[in-house]
Amino acid sequence: MICEIVSVGTEVVTGDIIDTNAPFIAKELSAVGVNTVYRSAVCDDMDLMCEVLEIAKKRAELIITIGGLGPTYDDITRNAVAKINNKKLYHSDEVEATIKEYFDRLGRTMMPNNLLQAKIIEDSAVVENPNGTAPGMILENDGKIFVLLPDPPNELIPMVQDKIKPYLAAKHEGYIAEKIIKIFGLGESYVESVLYDLMTQTKNPVIAPYAKLGEVHIKITAKGYDKQDALRLLSTYRDKIYSHFEKNIYGEDEDTLPSKAVELLKKHNKKVAFCESCTAGYIAKTLTDVPGASDVFGFGAVTYANEAKMTVVGVSSVSLKQYGAVSEEVAIQMAKGIKSISKADIAISVTGIAGPGGGTEEKPVGLVYSGFVTNNTSMVSKFNLTGNREKIRLMTVKNVMAMIINYLK
């Protein structure tokens, strides 16, 4: 089933609001065999909205609208969908009662304009919205399906998961299985070149690489006669992908570099400590964003200034003068110093030039050294990173997480 998602609202078109609903819907519905092929956005104008919906009607079987179901004068999605389908709007006493009940439950007074939300498209099915006043609607007409949803995520998300997905799944024969394999340290072009034959020689499953910052995610979507058939097919191609990239694969599906690092630290009963200069606590913050990180992390230090490097973790003033703060020698001393203080099993340091200033021809912006020390390991990694200050710092964090994962794998 081909789907087009139409995001409604002038504020979406102008960028005042970032639309997170459309990607969520596309991802959720792909699991039930719905392929989102088109996405569009339109401002709150009746003629333009009808024009966009007519185009969507010609090229998609399923059209999902987001927003424009509120109680104000510019909430006209229901009117536009009704118009292009030659349907009338009628007042639903049942929906009105539901809206009044919602306001009573909150102890608030319902405004007269809220009754606009009780206007329902002729021949459509109402989708209950327990978290708001705007009901959704499903209209099947002339071989097309229109799904109208409100735009607040706390209303839209449960409606999609609890109502729309089951409705669409019932219309789809077979079973769709999905798997996302996550790679760090390889470029998208390289991954695609390796997988080219695999990707082009089969349409089932569909294999699609997606570039992320420093990562490539490979999504496998397999369709089978039933769940067992789909999972068998998915497993076959998952194994083929692992045979090419196992060294660089860090996880699957909901895994992230920090969550995988925490998982492996727990599995091996190890604790980690960080001594950070250019990232200024970013590594510790990222790791402790993961629930349960307190089991594996208890000590970190931000030694931004040279004086802090000397007084906190014992970096030699001679090394700082001779080699500079951004050097292999200082990085390893920082790691050894934090390990001595923290008694952690793994100690990692970073020192570098995040920019935009401070770089030289010998030590350009993006140069980062990372010390890595355990009871039986002592090494330094050098990274030449590109991008703005935030990207360089974030890539440093990701490289540190990957170092933990690779060591413990």
Summarised one tens digit per residue, pLDDT across range 281-332 is 999 999 999 999 999 999 999 999 999 999 999 999 999 999 999 999 999 9
Q: How far apart (Å, rounded) are the C-alpha atoms in residues 261 and 267?
A: 10
Summarised one tens digit per residue, pLDDT across range 114-148 is 889 999 999 999 999 999 899 999 999 999 999 99
pLDDT of residue 62: 97
Contact call for residues 25 and 153 (beta carbons, < 8 A)? no
At 10 the three-state DSSP class reads: helix
Q: Output the DSSP codes for 235-246.
A: HHHHHHHHHHHT
Contact call for residues 44 and 6 (beta carbons, < 8 A)? no
Summarised one tens digit per residue, pLDDT across range 41-65 is 999 999 999 999 999 999 999 999 9
Q: Output the DSSP codes for 40-89.
A: EEE-S-HHHHHHHHHHHHHH-SEEEEES--SSSTT--HHHHHHHHTT--E
| Mean pLDDT of the 157-180 span | 90
Predicted TM-score of the model (pTM): 0.80
At 375 the three-state DSSP class reads: coil
Q: Residue 219 above 90 pLDDT?
A: yes
pLDDT band (50, 70, 90) for residue 345: very high
Q: How far apart (Å, rounded) are the C-alpha atoms in residues 107 and 295?
A: 44
pLDDT of residue 14: 94
Nearest alpha-carbon partner for 9 in 127, 149, 113: 149
Most confident of 26-30, 172-176, 389-393: 389-393
Q: How far apart (Å, rounded) are the C-alpha atoms in residues 275 and 165?
A: 47
Question: Between residues 172 and 279, which one has the greater pLDDT?
Answer: 279
User: Domains in the chain, please, with CATH?
Assistant: 2-169 (3.40.980.10), 175-252 (3.30.70.2860), 257-408 (3.90.950.20)
With vertex at residue 112, the alpha carbon angle to CA 108 and CA 114, rounded to the nearest 5 degrees, is 75
Q: How far apart (Å, rounded) are the C-alpha atoms in residues 193 and 263?
A: 31
